[in-house]
């Protein structure tokens, strides 16, 4: 982090306007991804879920490392293909259009994740029309209960997947389709799970269900996609998802639980890219209203919607910057408790709240950590028409 604050100082020195930038450390990203791949159990493959951050340098950095990419639109397929013409791609998501299914087949997507019986019939029809056989996984919406996490895609009513109760009927339908080949099942049930051992047990639950269906319907299972959902702890930065515990537990479970000959797929977004990115914003003003201290920064939730989406106070560090040259007093707050807000005209534009700081001054820079996943990519960039943040990709190894 010291090195990143040096980066901020040199960026600031080169600019006359207030700093507002996403800063990504590609060296950190590549090291993190490589470590994950190297320590993955032999029967597992790790894909990157593109929606977490689809900036080209991120995809380019990951392409030689990960086993492939998971996408949820034709736009994402095209982004992947522009940097990795031959990488394996998994295509999922509800409400695929004809153009998306046809485009996926043209772009040689490895597996289509089918989300409903109607979608299965459409994939069969469109693959037949293209003279193809599509390899598919059926996406399962489990009955639950599921372990605790921040978001739930299954285990309760949602728009995702096929109700576990309906899976037998849809397997029957898939078997009657001539232009699809059922290769296994897809389970992406929760997001931001921080319990590594619990997550491994959830994977084991997926594998047991798959074996039950495989036996009952004489299926040859090539893949079980266990989804993403490995968490990032935004509240306690020193208590991150324990990858080592996760892989150790998997190594113990897999020999008994994995269907013979099957490969287990993971498609992680947040866990891959959150840590490599920071959102750096300069303090524009400091003021007190109704007894509370507000720090207003150049930027806001239109660039970084995650804290407002999840209603959390996002972790940050402060980079003190010297060289104040304005011919007026520099506002400063000492030993205060601050709420950090952006430039938007809505009280919801809050990035962090009730954080104790020793000193903050106008012209200092606030660095929001773990901003590399679901940061810029999920934000409503043009609300209020402020300039966009710079996107800075460091090749070397700051952080």
Ligand X SMILES: *Cc1c(COP(=O)(O)O)cnc(C)c1O
Of the candidates 319, 292, 385, 309, the one whose C-alpha atom is nearest the C-alpha of residue 349 is 309
The minimum distance between CB 97 and ligand X, in angstroms, equals: 17
Contacts with ligand X by CB under 6 A: the residue count is: 17
The minimum distance between CB 262 and ligand X, in angstroms, equals: 18
Residue 90 token pair: 């998994």
Which member of 44, 177, 268, 345 is catalytic? Answer: 345
Radius of gyration, CA atoms only, the chain: 23
Cβ-based nearer residue to ligand X, 150 or 346: 150
Residue 138 token pair: 């059926």
Indicate whether 12 belongs to the interface with ligand X (CB under 6 A). Answer: no
Cβ-based nearer residue to ligand X, 202 or 283: 202
Indicate whether 142 belongs to the interface with ligand X (CB under 6 A). Answer: no
- Cα dist from 295 to 287, 317, 321, 365, whole Å: 7, 14, 16, 11
Indicate whether 375 belongs to the interface with ligand X (CB under 6 A). Answer: no
- Residues numbered 240-269 forming contacts with ligand X, rule: CB under 6 A: 267-269
The CA distance from 361 to 320, in Å, is: 8
Cβ-based nearer residue to ligand X, 72 or 207: 72
Cβ-based nearer residue to ligand X, 269 or 300: 269
- Mask 42-81, x = binds ligand X (CB under 6 A)? -------x-xx-----------------x-x---------
Cβ-based nearer residue to ligand X, 170 or 230: 230
Query: How does DSSP assign 245-278, residue by residue?
Result: HHHHHHHHHHHHHSPTT-EEEEEESHHHHGGGEE
- Mask 191-220, x = binds ligand X (CB under 6 A)? x-----------------------------
CB atoms within 10 A of CB 209: 18
The CA distance from 154 to 156, in Å, is: 5
- Residues numbered 79-98 forming contacts with ligand X, rule: CB under 6 A: 92
Q: Clarify whether 177 is annotated catalytic.
A: no
Indicate whether 124 belongs to the interface with ligand X (CB under 6 A). Answer: no
- Cα dist from 362 to 12, 118, 285, 391, whole Å: 13, 57, 6, 23
Identify the residue among 103, 228, 300, 315 touching ligand X (CB under 6 A): 228
The CA distance from 264 to 154, in Å, is: 19
The CA distance from 374 to 191, in Å, is: 12
Indicate whether 389 belongs to the interface with ligand X (CB under 6 A). Answer: no
The CA distance from 349 to 307, in Å, is: 9
CB atoms within 10 A of CB 284: 17
Indicate whether 227 belongs to the interface with ligand X (CB under 6 A). Answer: yes
Identify the residue among 188, 298, 314, 361 touching ligand X (CB under 6 A): 188
Residues annotated as part of the active site? 345
User: Which residues contribute to the site for ligand X (CB under 6 A)?
Assistant: 49, 51-52, 70, 72, 92, 188, 191, 227-230, 267-271
């Amino acid at each position: 982090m010291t090195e990143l604050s040096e980066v901020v100082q040199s960026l600031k020195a080169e600019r006359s306007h207030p700093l507002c930038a996403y800063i990504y450390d590609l060296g950190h990203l590549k090291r993190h991804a490589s470590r994950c791949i190297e320590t993955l159990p032999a029967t597992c493959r790790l894909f990157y879920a593109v929606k977490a951050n689809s900036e080209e340098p991120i995809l380019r950095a990951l392409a030689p490392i990960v086993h492939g990419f998971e996408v949820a639109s034709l736009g994402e397929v095209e982004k992947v293909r522009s940097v990795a013409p031959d990488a394996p791609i998994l295509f999922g998501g509800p409400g695929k259009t004809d153009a998306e299914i046809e485009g996926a087949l043209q772009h040689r997507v490895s597996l289509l994740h089918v989300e409903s019986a109607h979608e299965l019939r459409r994939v069969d029809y469109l693959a037949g029309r293209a003279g193809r056989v599509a390899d598919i996984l059926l996406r399962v919406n489990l009955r639950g209960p599921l372990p605790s996490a921040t978001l739930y895609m299954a285990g309760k009513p949602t728009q995702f997947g096929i109700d576990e109760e309906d899976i037998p009927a849809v397997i029957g339908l898939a078997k009657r389709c001539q232009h699809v080949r059922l290769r296994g099942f897809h389970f992406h049930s929760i997001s931001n799970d921080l319990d590594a051992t619990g997550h491994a047990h959830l994977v084991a639950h997926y594998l047991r269900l798959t074996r039950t269906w495989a036996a009952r319907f004489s299926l040859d299972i090539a893949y079980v996609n266990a989804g993403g959902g490995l968490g990032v702890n935004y509240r306690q930065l020193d208590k991150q998802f324990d990858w080592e515990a996760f892989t150790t537990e998997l190594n113990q479970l897999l020999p008994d639980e994995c269907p013979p000959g099957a490969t287990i797929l993971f498609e992680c977004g947040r866990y891959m890219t959150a840590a490599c990115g920071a959102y750096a914003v300069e303090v524009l003003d400091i003021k007190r209203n109704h007894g509370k201290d507000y720090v207003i920064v150049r930027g806001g939730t239109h660039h970084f919607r995650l804290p407002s989406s999840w209603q959390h106070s996002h972790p940050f560090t402060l980079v003190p910057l010297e060289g104040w040259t304005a011919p007026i007093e520099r506002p400063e707050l000492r030993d205060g408790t601050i709420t950090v807000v952006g430039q938007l005209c809505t009280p919801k534009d809050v990035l962090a709240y009730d954080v104790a700081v020793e000193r903050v001054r106008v012209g200092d820079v606030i660095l929001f950590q773990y901003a590399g996943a679901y940061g810029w990519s999920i934000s409503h960039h043009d609300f209020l028409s402020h300039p966009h943040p710079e996107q800075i990709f460091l090749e070397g190894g700051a952080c």
